[in-house]
């Protein structure tokens, strides 16, 4: 169960029992079950599917090559105009 906590002047973490998570101005502490069930954590720790990985790999290759070809074409056009 997630709880709201704050750090006191002595440096200790103290639970704020009467504060709802939406109203928490300190830190939200998660237990193991909340941490595992968090969608962000699952998204970071899961390996992408084959199609998703292929799309990311292709984009990582095609984007720099395309930008370099566009830059080369623009430089050739500017060279002809000059």
Specify the pairing of strand 13-15 against strand 27-29.
unpaired
Q: Which residues pair with 57 in a beta bridge?
A: none
What pLDDT was estimated at residue 19? 84
Count CB atoms within 10 A of the CB of residue 30.
Answer: 14
Q: How far is 7 from 2, CA to CA, in rounded Å?
A: 16
Res. 77: pLDDT tops 90 = yes
Q: Is the pLDDT of residue 3 over 90?
A: no
Residue 62: predicted pLDDT: 93
| DSSP conformation letters of 37-70 | H-HHHHHHHSPPPHHHHHHHHHHHHHHHHHHHHH
Q: Which pTM does this prediction carry? A: 0.41
What confidence tens digit (pLDDT) does each residue in 39-71 have?
676 777 777 788 888 888 888 999 999 999 999
- Reading the block at residue 47, the tokens are 């390996």
């Amino acid at each position: 169960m997630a709880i709201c906590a704050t750090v006191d002047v002595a440096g200790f973490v103290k639970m704020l029992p009467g504060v709802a998570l939406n109203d928490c101005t300190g830190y939200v502490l998660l237990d193991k079950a909340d941490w595992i069930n968090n969608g962000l954590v699952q998204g970071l720790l899961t390996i992408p599917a084959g199609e998703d990985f292929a799309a990311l790999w292709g984009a990582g290759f095609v984007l720099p090559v395309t930008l370099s070809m566009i830059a080369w074409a623009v430089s050739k056009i500017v060279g002809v105009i000059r």
